Amino acid sequence: MPLYLKVLIAVVSGAVLGVTFGSDPYLFGLKNEYLGQLGTLVVRLLKALATPLILFAILDGFIRSELSARHGMRLLAICLINVSVAMAIGLAIMNTWSPGTAWAGDLAALTREVESKSPGPLVPPQRAPNVSLNPLSNLAGYVPESLLEPFLKNNVLSIVLLALLGGVALRAVRRSQHAAGDLRGIESLERAVGTVYQVLVQMLEWIILIVPFAVFGVVAQVVGKAGIGVFGILWVFLLTILAGLALHSLVYYPAVAWLFGGKRPSVYLRGGADAILTGLSTNSSLATVPVTLKCLTEKLGVSDRSARLSACVGTNLNNDGITLYEAMTALFLAQAAGYALSLPQQGVVLMASVFAGAGIAGIPEAGLIVLPLVLGAVGLPDAMIAAAIPLILPVDWIIARCRSAVNVMSDMLVAILLDRLESTSADGTDSKQ
C-alpha cells in the first residue's frame, strides 16, 4: 500500500474518532488528546532530523554536482513568478466576489457565537519572536550567533546559509589541495559527508513508516478539540481561502508542470501524492522534506541536484500557501470591517504578506502567528485585530494544513521546472558542440 493511501486512511479515521468522541475519554480513559501527543512526537522527530538532512544534502550536492549562481537565480525567478500568480489569484477572488462583506457589521456577534460553539477556550498562538515585516530585521534574525543555534531553533534559512557557505568552502579547499597534489584530506571529508547523509536518509525512512499512525493521532486530537460546529458559521471565510489555495495548487501548479515541465497533471499529482498528503496531515513542509525529496527523485524523475536545490535551499522561498493566505485573510477582514482598500493599499497587503512568508518558515502555525502584522500593515485598528483572530481560529487548523500542502506542491513544481531548464540548457550546449 503506498504511503499516500495509508496517510489518507489515517486522516479519515482520525477525523471520525475526533468527531465521535471530541475531548471526552473513551476506551479505558483514553483521550484523543493522548493520541495527538504521541503523534506530535513523531512529527517533532521528523523536524529534528530534517534540519541536519538539509545541511548534509546541500553539502553533498556541492560535492557531487555543480551548483552555480545561475541555478540560484533560476530558483529565485521561478519562486517570484509563482508567488506573483498566487497574489493575482487572491486579488481576483477578493475584488470580484467581495466575500468579506457577508460579515459586515457582524464581527462582534460572530465572535460570540463562535466562542459559544467551540469545545474549549479560543487562545490565539503567541507571536513568534524576531518576526517583523522589515526584510532587513528578518535577515538579521537569520544570521546565527553560534553554529549550534540554527539547529536548536530549527531555523532552516540559517542552516541553508551555513550549508551554502560550507559547500563553497569545500570546493575552495579541493582546488587548493588539487593544486598541491594531495587530495587525501578533502576526499576523506567528502566521504564522511556522503556517509552521514545516507545515514540520515535511512533513519528518516524508518520514521516515515510510522507517519500514518502519527497522522491518525494528530488529526483525532485536532478535530476533537476544534469541533465542527463552527463550520456552519465560518463557511464563507473557509470557502474563500480554500478556493484561492485550490486554484493555485490544483490548477496553476499542474498546468505549469505540464506546459513547462513536461509532467502531465496526473503524473505531477500522483507522483507527489505521498509528499502532498504528508504535508497536509503533519502541517509542516519542513517535516515533509525527506518525503518530498523521495517523491521528486524516485517517482517524478527529477535530478538529484534540482530536487535538493528546491526542497532544501528553496524551502524558505516556496511559501505560496502562507503568502496567499495572509493576503486573502487580510483583505477579507478589511471588507468585513467596512474598510474599502484602494489598489495601492492592497499592494501594501501583498508586500507585507510576502515579507511575512519569508520571515516565518519553520514556525508552527506560522500563518496565524504573523497575521496581526499583516492586518496592522493594512491600517486596521488593534481592537478589531484582537477580535478577528479568535474568530477565524477554530477553522485555522484545516487551512494551516492546506497551506503546508501548497508549500510542498510549490517545492515540487520548482524542482520540476529547474530540472527542465537544466535539461534544456544541456541540450543546447550539446547541440552547439
Give the pLDDT confidence of 268-321 residue by residue, as tens digits.
999 999 999 999 888 888 889 999 999 999 999 999 989 999 998 877 778 898
Q: Which of 202-206, 208-212, 392-396 has the lowest mean pLDDT?
A: 392-396
Please tell me the distance from the alpha carbon of residue 124 to that of residue 25, in angstroms, as a whole number: 25
Per-residue cell: 54: 538539509
CB under 8 A, 24+ apart: contacts of 197-205: 197/53, 197/56, 197/57, 197/59, 197/60, 200/49, 200/52, 200/53, 200/56, 201/53, 201/290, 203/49, 204/46, 204/49, 204/50, 204/53, 204/290, 205/290
Tens digit of pLDDT for each residue in 252-271?
A: 999 999 999 999 999 999 99
**Range 51-60 average pLDDT:** 89
Please tell me the distance from the alpha carbon of residue 378 to that of residue 381, in angstroms, as a whole number: 9
Tens digit of pLDDT for each residue in 371-408?
A: 777 877 777 777 777 777 778 888 888 898 899 999 99
Please tell me the distance from the alpha carbon of residue 86 to that of residue 251, in angstroms, as a whole number: 11
The count of other CB atoms within 10 Å of the CB of residue 136 is 8
Helix, strand, coil abundance in the chain, percent, nearest 5: 80, 0, 20
Largest CA distance in the chain: 77
Answer whether 332's CB lies under 8 Å from 97's CB. no
- Whole-number pLDDT of residue 433: 38
Closest C-alpha to 288, from 3, 2, 22, 1: 3
Please tell me the distance from the alpha carbon of residue 400 to that of residue 388, in angstroms, as a whole number: 17
Query: Which CATH entry fits the domain spanning 3-427: 3.40.50.10160, 1.10.3860.10, 2.160.10.10, 1.10.150.130?
Result: 1.10.3860.10
Q: Is 122 helix (H, G, I), strand (E, B) or coil?
A: coil
Q: Which of 71-80, 202-211, 347-356, 406-415 has the lowest mean pLDDT?
A: 347-356
**Range 11-32 average pLDDT:** 87
- Residue 364's pLDDT band, with cuts at 50, 70 and 90, is low
DSSP state of 250: I
**Range 241-247 average pLDDT:** 96
57-71, 195-209, 221-235 — which one is most confidently predicted on average? 195-209
**Range 180-190 average pLDDT:** 86
3-class SS string, 291-355:
HHHHHHHHHCCCCHHHHHHHHHHHHHCCCHHHHHHHHHHHHHHHHHCCCCCCHHHHHHHHHHHHH
Q: Which amino acid is at 364?
A: P
Answer whether 56's CB lies under 8 Å from 196's CB. yes
Please tell me the distance from the alpha carbon of residue 362 to that of residue 364, in angstroms, as a whole number: 6
Per-residue cell: 164: 551554502
- Whole-number pLDDT of residue 144: 80
Q: Which of 82-91, 220-229, 312-321, 422-431 has the lowest mean pLDDT?
A: 422-431
Average pLDDT, the chain: 84
- Whole-number pLDDT of residue 431: 41
Please tell me the distance from the alpha carbon of residue 333 to that of residue 392, in angstroms, as a whole number: 10
Which residue has better confidence, 125 or 148? 148
Per-residue cell: 77: 525567478
Please tell me the distance from the alpha carbon of residue 304 to that of residue 296, in angstroms, as a whole number: 8
Whether 141 has a pLDDT exceeding 80, the answer reads no
> In percent, how much of the chain has pLDDT > 90?
32
- Whole-number pLDDT of residue 130: 54
Q: Which of 117-126, 230-239, 265-274, 329-338 has the lowest mean pLDDT?
A: 117-126
Whether 353 has a pLDDT exceeding 90, the answer reads no
> In percent, how much of the chain has pLDDT > 70?
87
Which residue has better confidence, 25 or 383? 25
Whether 8 has a pLDDT exceeding 80, the answer reads yes
Q: Which of 37-46, 144-153, 384-393, 400-409 has the lowest mean pLDDT?
A: 384-393
Residue 284 burial class via C-beta count within 10 angstroms: exposed 0-12, middle 13-18, buried 19 and up: buried
Whether 107 has a pLDDT exceeding 80, the answer reads no
Q: Which amino acid is at 382?
A: D
- Residue 81's pLDDT band, with cuts at 50, 70 and 90, is very high
